[in-house]
Structure 1
Amino acid sequence: MSFDLPLPDLATLLFWLKKSVSVLLLPPLMPILPVIAGLLLMRRHPRLGKGLAWSGVALNLLLIAPFSVSWLVGLVEHPQALDAAAARRAQAIVVLGAGRRTHAPEFGGETVNRLALERLRYAARLARERGLPILVSGGAPRGDTPEAALMAQVLQEDYGLKPRWVEGASRDTRENAQFSAVHLQAAGMRRILLVTHAMHMKRARDAFEAAGLEVIPAPTAWLGGGEHDTGGDQSLALFPSQNTAYAGWFAMHELLGQLAYRLSR
């Protein structure tokens, strides 16, 4: 008896290759690799081994220290909130997915994660204030429930809003833009309020503008915002913390994503 399993298409293979490479190039693994390499080389090449090991330690410290993380965040984070005057020209609201919680028994199985919820909360507020239709965008790279379907469920059950469009085929930000543009342009919508994290806004805006839409940034959830404020916890503002570590990871993720987009154009 033989079983013919479907082979993944090239786009899917490239998607998972990109994800695998990003794991190696982002914290926490990235600064650990030179430490491991240095320890392995220590016996035969002590000077090189020590240099690599200490460089990994230094790199790890830079990726969690408030002063260096604040600088990284400043490179990528959109600095301004929504421009109220520009928002009057918008025809629709697009909110991007940010992940899911697969184990959420209190919600009946699975739901969106806290990052997606931050975006949905702001999108719901904008929809009520401006009376604009909502498009939710987020797919299912692993073949499970599309994230957009979970987002639509949250909007309906928790905010009493039904999105007009549910785009559930995209796997990344570029596909969010391309597939969302198909729905919006078919409905004559070309000017959008784009809701995503302030850190993610530059890459998302570039992708949606490349897809032919006029983007009015509607960022939310800043991780920077002050001279020493990274992560929003003033009691930890002068010291490395889980907040600075997360902000450093997010900034590196966006810088890597921007570089990948430039190389693939």
Structure 2
Amino acid sequence: MKPKKNKYQSKSGEEEEDLSQSVEAHNDPVVTGAQSSSEELAVLIRTILKEEISVVVSQLNIIKEDIASCTRKLVEVDETLSTMDERVTKLETACTALRKANLELKEKAERLEMHSRKYNVRVFGLAKDVEKGNPTGYMSQLFKELFQGKLQSEPDVEIAHRVGPPGNNRAMIVSLQKRTTTAEIIKIAKKEKELLFCGMKLKIFPDLTTEMAKKRASFRETRAKLRDEGVRHGIIHPATLIITFKGETKKFTEHSEADLYVKTVIQQNK
């Protein structure tokens, strides 16, 4: 008979067998080489990761610096824009005030110029050098003969001179001493259209400023439409269009308003 194994002896024997196998495996060159390769690979991977992380961190630091620089520049730009916005607002306010003041000054200058010309008339159709170097004396004599018995008082001429570019049809500006005489002469000239004197066909108009002349000219197209429609109209001093249609009289100082009236009232009710 074989002797029975003690359980303690059996367990100890198994542990000794496992230890023996472990030693054998440790001493096995294949196992040892695999473990060594794994450790080297792990070291290599850690090294590569550290280098890559270092590069990424460096690039992130650069990006952070760029972002910080951009942030500072944006703050500067924002401050500059705010300052510019304030300056633009101030300039707009100043320009509005200057525009208003300029308009007022232009209106005052226009009124003053119109006032200075209220005694004047412009005479067209005079022959070249007919005044023989004495325009004031010549126009004084011309007016006295031309309007003899037609005026309430003598047409005393203050001063006269030619205007416009050199040529054969330069107008003559004549300044009279009395405003009433000027108004009478303009009224007669408007009624007769042309005045004959020594073979010359003369036309006399009020002496308007450039602005008033342009304003009168702006009614040209509207007046052409009114003539085509056979509607009574005219220009009253200095630059107001007066229209009489079906017994109703309208006055316009702006050509756009007059043109709208012709389109919406006259042309639609003819």
Larger Rg: 2
Do the structures match in fold with TM over 0.5? no
Choose between structure 1 and 2: higher helix proportion.
Answer: 2
TM-score by length of 2: 0.19
TM-score by length of 1: 0.20
Higher RCO, 1 or 2 (CA under 8 Å, sep at least 6)?
1
